[in-house]
Amino acid sequence: MALKWLFLDMNAFFASVEQQENPHLRGKPIAVVPVMSDSTCCIAASYQAKRFGIKTGTNVGEARRLCPNLILVETTSHSHYREYHNAIVSVVESCIPVTQIWSVDEMVCKLWANEKRTEDAVALARKIKIEIFKNVGEHMCCSIGLSLNPFLAKVAGELKKPNGLIVLDEEDLPHRLYPMKLTDFPGISRGMESRFHSAGVRTTEHMYALSQEQMRKVWGGVMGEHWYRQLRGEYYPRPITDRRTISHTHVMPPEMRTRAGAASVQCRLLEKAAERMRSLGFYARGMSVFARGALHDKWENHVTFAPCADTWTLMERMQSIFTHPFDQPKQVGVVLCDLLPIANVTGSLFDDYERRWRLSLAVDGVNKRFGRHTVTMASSRRAETAKEDKIAFGKIS
């Protein structure tokens, strides 16, 4: 079988963007954080920081202990990450069409017929690396995997970081995979690893020896068959899943950890979620809100309603259930759920649905043109200084 797919993964993308933008951060251990607080966690780390054991999700206080010289970079906007992402996609497109964008820092490309020989595919990968270096930034490096299907190309891309270029062809299977731990494979979590262990499978060689039926049994369904075939170089397209929820959460800075502060941040999160939902073409039929206290105790509430997409009605629904008991809430969140495509919704004849809907779209248009929160609810104004809780790893626009 000839090589058919190229997978590209930008190395330590968010931290690399910060180092590219700020020369003083280059070559130093840095962690990107949502707020300057030891109680939050790192949402990205440079490779210099990773050498100390710091990774995505590491508590900032623990990260400081592991690396006393760690530099924290507070992110105030995602726009520059999107700009770098778009620039990288443009560079790759100048070399080969991008077949699918998997996340803000990952994409796959199907090789053309004249690029499937190993030497041609490797030359293409090196060209992409050079073009990113020249046109995006000398501190923006990537790992590229070349293989028989997107899954194995991603596995190849993970084998050497940073700045790797690995080929997995038919002759490499399966022995090249055997040194990998089960959790080295994308899609095998600690929980899935435990299921393999329960089936007596503790190494990649053991997993590869399973029959197709045994793989189905471990995975609990057809996914096991997909894995069996993908490990042997066959192509299975990524399944398209129906969106069921849109959610936003926020770990608040100390000055906002009051009931009033939590309510304001909750309103801001709902505005953001409602705008995203409309842009994706959905209505919600349910909403959950939750909060966590200083001792990590959790409160949550839920409400269902007729299909709705305008911010004002959703705000009314949220205010009817937002009665959490914490005097010093640490984190709040909103989930819009039971989503329904707009094409499947008929407007109500008994309220001002049409007026609120058009007003919401008008506000979306203003905010898109002049910047998010140019027009916003008065109830969320106090949250203007609150920073984003997460980098949108899988969200591009």
SS (H, E, C) 221-279: CHHHHHHHHHHCCCCCCCCCCCCCEEEEEEECCHHHCCHHHHHHHHHHHHHHHHHHHHH
CA Rg value for the chain? 24
Q: What is the pLDDT of residues 211-260, one digit of tens each?
A: 999 999 999 888 899 999 999 999 877 655 455 789 888 888 888 888 88
The residue among 77 and 198 whose pLDDT is bigger is: 198
For 101, residues 6+ apart whose C-beta sits below 8 A from its C-beta are 89, 107, 396
For residue 346, pLDDT over 70 is answered with: no
Helix (H) or strand (E) holding 184: none
Among the listed residues 210, 323, 332, the one whose alpha carbon sits nearest the alpha carbon of residue 261: 332
pTM: 0.66
For residues 354 and 346, what is the distance between their CA atoms, to the nearest angstrom?
11
pLDDT value at residue 91: 96
- Yes or no: say if 122 and 145 are a contact pair by the CB < 8 Å rule: no
The single-letter code of the amino acid at 164 is G
For residue 337, pLDDT over 80 is answered with: yes
Q: What is the pLDDT of residues 167-220, one digit of tens each?
A: 999 999 999 999 999 999 988 888 889 999 999 999 999 999 999 999 999 998
The single-letter code of the amino acid at 28 is K
For residues 379 and 315, what is the distance between their CA atoms, to the nearest angstrom?
10
Q: Taking the mean position of all CA atoms in its chain, how far away is CA 131? A: 25
- Yes or no: say if 246 and 335 are a contact pair by the CB < 8 Å rule: yes
Determine the straight-line distance between the first and last CA of the chain, rounded to whole angstroms: 37
Ranking 111-115, 171-175, 201-205, 293-297 by mean pLDDT, the lowest is 293-297
Q: What is the pLDDT of residues 116-155, one digit of tens each?
A: 899 999 999 999 999 999 999 999 999 999 999 999 999 9
For residues 158 and 45, what is the distance between their CA atoms, to the nearest angstrom?
17
Report the interhelical angle of 190-198 vs 212-219 (nearest 10°). Answer: 130
Q: What is the mean pLDDT of the chain?
A: 85
Angle of CA points 243, 247, 252, to nearest 5°: 165
For residues 362 and 366, what is the distance between their CA atoms, to the nearest angstrom?
6
pLDDT value at residue 152: 97
